Amino acid sequence: MKNLLIITFFICAVISAQEKNKMITDQKAGKPMLIGACDRSAFADTSFSWWFNSGYDTYNADSLSLIELHDRLNGVEITIVMGSWCSDSRREVPRFFKILDKLNYDQKGLSLYCVDRDKKEPSGIVEKFSIKLVPTFIILRNKIELGRITESPEESLEKDLLKITGKQ
C-alpha cells in the first residue's frame, strides 16, 4: 500500500509539474521567446529585462485610481496572457506589474502565460480563454470572469480595472 501511495504521488507530481519561464527561439525573429507558464522572474533575463524594466520604471500610475482600486482587488484572481514578442505586451505588462506592486497585490492570485505568435502554449490551458489578441488581462472572482482588458486599455489600465472590479 505504501508503495502504491508513493507511486501515485510521483505520477501526480510529474503530471502537474510544468516548466516555468521556458524560452524557445522565435522562428520569425530568431530571438528568444517565452512560452508557457511564467512568473515575473522571467523578465530578469537580459532578453526581456531591457523592455520590462524600461516600461516599469517610466510608467506613472494614476494615484487617485489606485486609492479606489486598492480594496477592490481583494479576492480577485488575475490571468495574464501575453507574447514576449508582442509590442503591446511589452508596453502593457510592465505597467500592469507596476500597478500591482503599488497596490501590494498578493501575486499568489496571479497567473502568467506566454504564448507563441499563434496564441498557443504547450499546456493548452490558455485555449479555454479564447485569446485572440495579446496581452489579455483576465480578471476573475470566485473563478467567474468579471472582465478583461485586451491588447490595450480603453482609458488606462487603472481605470479599466476600476470599471471591471466595480461590476459585482
Mean pLDDT by 10 residues, the chain (168 residues): 42 53 95 97 98 98 95 95 98 98 96 97 94 97 96 97 86
| Amino acid 141: pLDDT | 96
Q: Which grid cell is 132?
A: 485572440
**Residue 58 CA to its chain's centroid (Å):** 20
Domains along the sequence of the chain with CATH: 20-166 (3.40.30.10)
| Amino acid 4: pLDDT | 38
| Amino acid 18: pLDDT | 62
Nearest CA to 91 out of 150, 152, 44 is that of 152
pTM of the model: 0.88
Interhelix angle 157-166/87-102, nearest 10 degrees: 70
